[in-house]
Structure 1
């Protein structure tokens, strides 16, 4: 027994978008869960500051001095003797690139000055010290 269609009836051919919407919603949930996990940061106990925050450059270099006086550039550990070469590599030799320097609260002033001296000797003079915003 065969099904016969009348001449007036035509087959409906539409795209079913329900599976597409389901996939998009699942991807949205995956990205919403994964986005906060992708911002891995170096654990450092920053001191507070009551100064107003300045304008932030587009792509600064983040140099961190940890509590045990290790240097970390962005998220990668850096040997102190190779700091200049690695900074040049990351900034493509552009020494006008701003360097945001953050140090743990327990790092003494002398150790911080040594890092600043290394940055100055390497030619990086645009250095900003980073701290937490504290209540006035």
Structure 2
């Protein structure tokens, strides 16, 4: 038999059977790329309010449960989680965010923009203390520079 010549045994009217296999290799490749993208971007999505944090050489503290996030943006607006808090309603916003738990039972993480006045940050810390939040952590960027 030469190339391209069909034998008469097969017949001309015989149709090809449909292919019953699905090539899953491209699907697996796309899913692995999406998994890597989500693994890289997930840690970056923890802070919803953009704050320019100061640098520090301190080590991170271990945490047992999810803390309450309080942020002070560069324009002085206070956020609890990702929600802006109107002036004078920090206590109400903390009670709503803590879902009924007392403020002294949960850790509060304070993130403040480095361009803010020291008095503004201390004013918010004082208000948190007055509301019963005794465990307040300040968040900074890590830095290897010495003072």
Q: TM-score range by the shorter chain?
A: 0.7 to 0.9
Q: Distance in 2 between matches of 1:52 and 1:29?
A: 33
Match of 1:129 in 2: 138
Alignment TM-score, normalising by the size of structure 1: 0.73
Q: Paired residues, what number?
A: 122
Match of 2:48 in 1: 41
Mapped pair 1:62 → 2:69: yes
Give unpaired runs (5+ residues) of structure 2: 1-19
Mapped pair 1:98 → 2:110: no
Q: Deviations over 1:71-116 (max 9, x none)?
A: 1222222223221112112112322110100111111111112111
* 1:57–1:98 CA contact under 8 A, matched in 2: no
Q: Distance in 2 between matches of 1:52 and 1:31?
A: 30
Aligned-residue CA RMSD in angstroms? 2.6
* Bigger mean CA offset, 51-60 vs 109-118: 51-60
Give unpaired runs (5+ residues) of structure 1: 1-14
Question: Which of residues 40, 47, 58 is equivalent to 1:51?
Answer: 58
* 2:80–2:97 CA contact under 8 A, matched in 1: no
Distance 1:79 1:24, change over 3 A: farther
Q: Distance in 2 between matches of 1:53 and 1:31?
A: 27
* Higher-Rg member (1/2): 2
Mapped pair 1:30 → 2:34: yes
Alignment TM-score, normalising by the size of structure 2: 0.68
Q: Distance in 1 between matches of 2:87 and 2:132?
A: 15
Q: Distance in 1 between matches of 2:77 and 2:49?
A: 11
